[in-house]
Chain A
């Protein structure tokens, strides 16, 4: 029941913030922020209360929705869901905060969309019914489309359309696969249901399993994104408003990774093992290709977008390594990437508010003007290149450690990615904050609101770096992928 409440709070707050915006923008922002903080507190309380329990599923809520098809409103939470949902509310709250000044037009509709997309994402992380999963999966697209298309930068409509079409195409393939699974299960057991737990261990022909798995996998690879399907990402990330970029990079990409962990691997274990080398190869290509492209960018946000491609390659590499170390690394990587990339997008947005350009060539020497911002970027850039002591290091180290056991050569190449990451990360610092400065005027450094956001992010990334055990304990509960 508490899980339904999480969704309902967001949904009601979305409507409420839209309505009250006609009267007061400030109230609308507070409603949005308040609802997300309440949800965050609820999730943290759940987490604190469930650190030691051994049973995997903490909450299970199920009512029939369309019994004719065996569709139910089935929500459940385990360690993975909990971590993802906590990340969702954390980054969601920060998204509201960073939009405080940036979004001054159509405030109500903005917060409606923001909360609605967060509601969809939360649903994706919590639902244990495949129809409902597809429902939420599609539901988060429309508000995201608006977030990019209305409040974005110059080429926002192009970016929004591209994003929408790519993910829809993937989503429809997944729908076919879901229905295929439904009928295969029905034909074999005479129970027609979309329930996740029933569909686990569906007996099926290897050939069928291969096709169905591909349907799921392509949808998730588009979202992650893996290399041949990644072209929507740089456009969408670059053109979206800051909050849009944070939600995209921090959360939407994670739904793809989550889908692989939750659905592809457990539902089709044999087929997943078969395709593992190819998927890991795609991951490594993503790591190297994304890093190389990131190095070549001149647009700050586009650069960060390509680093996402690179970092999410590690997720793919680890997910198909089939051992617990890699798996825990993947979960860590999902969280730390959300935090560090989100932070970089937030700073890029703050910088854009001040100097009105994203072009790296027009920046330089900003350290003397913006020392606080410079140090913040330094921290997250170090995180991005995998400096020990920050969360990203733990994540990438674990992934590489795990994938070494599965495939040595690919791991070697993936490690090269870390070198390139160092190059592009340091280039950010070099281009933006060091070098000559031809600006005579002063710029305001981080204000109170931005400090709160940055400090929160810094604390989390250090905490994940120095004391990752609580997260690892929680994600440990999931052990079905281990071969």
Chain B
């Protein structure tokens, strides 16, 4: 391993070392605050480790990994998101579980898994990263053992993730059998030489799509999402919604680019059908939900569908749009879950719409933050979500995907309905005597985090140029 390899993998190595140290720390002296502080420090160090790595990009570590601007950008995104989720976690676990320390180990491990996905360019590293991520998530989802739905969620995720991994492996094997390559560019070259897509490779891609689709939570592999969002601890749900899905998406983009997926109409159509189905199913099922976590789950299914529209546009703008949308989606999702976290009491999560009725008149700031997050999900101006959706539509128009765009427009309107239903609930006037069961915890750290997220959200919505330039520069490398 050369020096350059070492520096390039800085963030990964830092986090891996941090897990070991944290484990030893916990073994020596159990202290929630200390492990929490250490994890925050680890994330910050990993973030700073990105800076020296920039000097060496693009840097390949054949055959498994590649560190370029695209992966570093997403590494940074994931680390920042993880950092924010950590910030929101402390109070949530402080009030709930006796053994809180292992949560941080698992969270660090899961983040490592996501980071490996982001830098991998080979089936082996893909599978390694995916499994590190999945196995950590089994533990994280069922972490609050005493709650009624947490076991159910954990086991459900375990079964489905294991099953989808099996499909993924089988798919990889099929692809390998016919192309003789496991690294993405190699597969791309082999397919190009063949000049067509053999049935077995097609089948392999299909099986792999099951594994990938499961992690992304797209239709028809979405069934787990609402149950797991509902049963998992809130910070973990935020982690699944953002980091786990984001890392997989990044991998999918890299794979698709490397094998020149746009050259094969069959592949395009499969993804297009999935995209449209995700949008409709996600939005449609969200309409009747009364539970905020389930609404967020279904809405994230729909949002993956929107992202796929940009993905399918087949133009440069599409990839930029995905990157921008991902940033906006990360901020918004973590913000929305953050609101639910600070609103939850130690006894019960604030998860029904009724808990938010008239919130604006009781806690105006929390309600404002939540409104901003929901409007961003709905794509209303002054928020990052608006620019993100605009970017996606722009990519679609640029790629002449009129059919997909009309589907997106219809779905945006359906989606609006349940977002504004939530907003309306917060601004409605509760009848006298009608009081919610949950007394919000509203911890200081959580509140400050939320305010910062909101400022970021509006800043990206009003002045997105800096972020766009960064993304554009980074994407030039990829194509």
A106 to B428, CA, bound (A): 12
Known: A157-B428, A172-B413. A145 touches B380 (CB 8 A): no
Known: A66-B468, A165-B417. A175 touches B424 (CB 8 A): no
Which of these, B381, B406, B409, B469, contacts A138 with CB under 8 Å?
B381
Question: Chain A nearest CB: distance from B68 CB in Å?
Answer: 21
Which residues in A have their C-beta under 8 angstroms from that of B449? none
Known: A173-B409, A183-B397. A68 touches B427 (CB 8 A): no
Mark out the residues of chain A between 129 and 148 whose CB falls within 8 Å of any chain B CB in the assembled complex: 131, 134-136, 138-139, 141-142, 145-146
Interface string of B351-395 (1 = CB under 8 A from A): 000000000010000000000000100001110001000100110
A168 to B412, CA, bound (A): 9
| Number of residues on chain B facing chain A (CB within 8 A) | 30
Which residues in B have their C-beta under 8 angstroms from that of A65? 463, 465
A179 to B406, CA, bound (A): 13
Mark out the residues of chain B between 440 and 479 whose CB falls within 8 Å of any chain A CB in the assembled complex: 463-465, 468-469, 472
Interface string of A58-89 (1 = CB under 8 A from B): 00000001111100000000000000000000
Question: Chain B nearest CB: distance from A346 CB in Å?
Answer: 25
Which of these, A136, A139, A179, contacts B394 with CB under 8 Å?
A179
A136 to B381, CA, bound (A): 8
Which of these, B375, B393, B412, B416, contacts A179 with CB under 8 Å?
B393
Which residues in A have their C-beta under 8 angstroms from that of B420? 145, 161, 164
What band does the interface of chain A fall in when counting residues whose beta carbon is under 8 Å from B? 20 to 34
Is there contact, CB below 8 Å, between B424 and A138? Answer: no
A169 at the interface (CB under 8 A from B): yes
Which residues in B have their C-beta under 8 angstroms from that of A373? none
Is there contact, CB below 8 Å, between B409 and A69? Answer: no
A141 to B469, CA, bound (A): 30
A464 at the interface (CB under 8 A from B): no
A176 at the interface (CB under 8 A from B): yes
A150 at the interface (CB under 8 A from B): yes
A172 to B381, CA, bound (A): 12
Is there contact, CB below 8 Å, between A149 and B393? Answer: no
A451 to B294, CA, bound (A): 53
Mark out the residues of chain A between 179 and 232 whose CB falls within 8 Å of any chain B CB in the assembled complex: 179-180, 182-183
A160 at the interface (CB under 8 A from B): yes
B405 at the interface (CB under 8 A from A): yes
Which residues in A have their C-beta under 8 angstroms from that of B468? 66, 68
Is there contact, CB below 8 Å, between A157 and B397? Answer: no
Question: Chain A nearest CB: distance from B463 CB in Å?
Answer: 8
Is there contact, CB below 8 Å, between A142 and B416? Answer: no
Known: A149-B424, A172-B409. A68 touches B465 (CB 8 A): yes
Which of these, A141, A150, A169, A182, contacts B409 with CB under 8 Å?
A169
In the complex, the chain A residue whose C-beta lies closest to that of B465 is A66
A157 to B375, CA, bound (A): 17
A177 to B417, CA, bound (A): 23
Known: A138-B381, A138-B386, A168-B416. A66 touches B464 (CB 8 A): yes
Is there contact, CB below 8 Å, between B398 and A183? Answer: yes
Question: Chain A nearest CB: distance from B160 CB in Å?
Answer: 35
Question: Chain B nearest CB: distance from A422 CB in Å?
Answer: 39
Is there contact, CB below 8 Å, between B390 and A175? Answer: yes
A136 to B472, CA, bound (A): 26
Is there contact, CB below 8 Å, between B413 and A176? Answer: no
Is there contact, CB below 8 Å, between B416 and A164? Answer: yes
Is there contact, CB below 8 Å, between A175 and B465? Answer: no
Question: Chain B nearest CB: distance from A53 CB in Å?
Answer: 34
Which residues in A have their C-beta under 8 angstroms from that of B390? 131, 175
Which of these, A135, A142, A172, A176, contacts B375 with CB under 8 Å?
A142
Is there contact, CB below 8 Å, between B413 and A165? Answer: yes
In the complex, the chain B residue whose C-beta lies closest to that of A109 is B360
Is there contact, CB below 8 Å, between A160 and B412? Answer: no
Known: A67-B465, A161-B417, A168-B412. A179 touches B397 (CB 8 A): yes
Is there contact, CB below 8 Å, between B397 and A176? Answer: yes
In the complex, the chain B residue whose C-beta lies closest to that of A164 is B420
A107 to B94, CA, bound (A): 39
Which residues in B have their C-beta under 8 angstroms from that of A180? 397
Mark out the residues of chain A between 382 and 416 whose CB falls within 8 Å of any chain B CB in the assembled complex: none
Question: Chain B nearest CB: distance from A140 CB in Å?
Answer: 10
Is there contact, CB below 8 Å, between B381 and A176? Answer: no
Known: A146-B427, A176-B405, A179-B393. A169 touches B413 (CB 8 A): yes
Which residues in B have their C-beta under 8 angstroms from that of A67? 465
A164 to B468, CA, bound (A): 30
Interface string of B394-412 (1 = CB under 8 A from A): 1001100000011001001
Is there contact, CB below 8 Å, between B427 and A150? Answer: yes
A106 to B361, CA, bound (A): 9
Is there contact, CB below 8 Å, between B382 and A161? Answer: no
Is there contact, CB below 8 Å, between B465 and A176? Answer: no
Question: Chain B nearest CB: distance from A212 CB in Å?
Answer: 11
Is there contact, CB below 8 Å, between A68 and B382? Answer: no
Question: Chain A nearest CB: distance from B319 CB in Å?
Answer: 14
In the complex, the chain B residue whose C-beta lies closest to that of A169 is B413
Which residues in A have their C-beta under 8 angstroms from that of B416? 164-165, 168
Most A Cβ at <10 Å: residue of B413, B417, B429: B413
Interface string of B409-443 (1 = CB under 8 A from A): 10011001100110010011100000000000000
Which residues in A have their C-beta under 8 angstroms from that of B361? 106
Is there contact, CB below 8 Å, between A138 and B380? Answer: yes
Is there contact, CB below 8 Å, between A68 and B394? Answer: no
Known: A138-B381, A172-B409. A68 touches B469 (CB 8 A): yes
A169 to B382, CA, bound (A): 19
A306 to B433, CA, bound (A): 39
Is there contact, CB below 8 Å, between A172 and B412? Answer: yes
A26 to B406, CA, bound (A): 48
Which of these, B380, B429, B472, contacts A142 with CB under 8 Å?
B380
In the complex, the chain B residue whose C-beta lies closest to that of A180 is B397
Question: Chain B nearest CB: distance from A144 CB in Å?
Answer: 12
Question: Chain B nearest CB: distance from A22 CB in Å?
Answer: 10
Known: A67-B465, A176-B393. A161 touches B398 (CB 8 A): no
Question: Chain B nearest CB: distance from A7 CB in Å?
Answer: 14
A164 to B374, CA, bound (A): 15
Is there contact, CB below 8 Å, between A139 and B398? Answer: no
A106 to B390, CA, bound (A): 34
Is there contact, CB below 8 Å, between B413 and A168? Answer: yes
Which residues in B have their C-beta under 8 angstroms from that of A179? 393-394, 397
A145 to B472, CA, bound (A): 36
What are 8 inter-chain pairs, A to B, with CB distance below 8 A? A106-B361, A139-B380, A142-B380, A161-B424, A165-B417, A168-B416, A172-B412, A176-B405
Contacts from A to B (Cβ < 8 Å): 65-69, 106, 131, 134-136, 138-139, 141-142, 145-146, 149-150, 157, 160-161, 164-165, 168-169, 172-173, 175-176, 179-180, 182-183
Contacts from B to A (Cβ < 8 Å): 361, 375, 380-382, 386, 390, 393-394, 397-398, 405-406, 409, 412-413, 416-417, 420-421, 424, 427-429, 463-465, 468-469, 472
Extra pairs beyond A168-B416, A173-B409 (18, CB < 8 Å): A65-B465, A69-B394, A134-B381, A135-B381, A138-B386, A139-B380, A139-B382, A142-B380, A150-B429, A168-B413, A169-B409, A169-B413, A172-B409, A172-B412, A175-B390, A175-B409, A183-B397, A183-B398
Which 5 residue pairs are nearest across A and B when measured between Cβ atoms? A179-B397, A172-B409, A138-B381, A169-B413, A135-B381
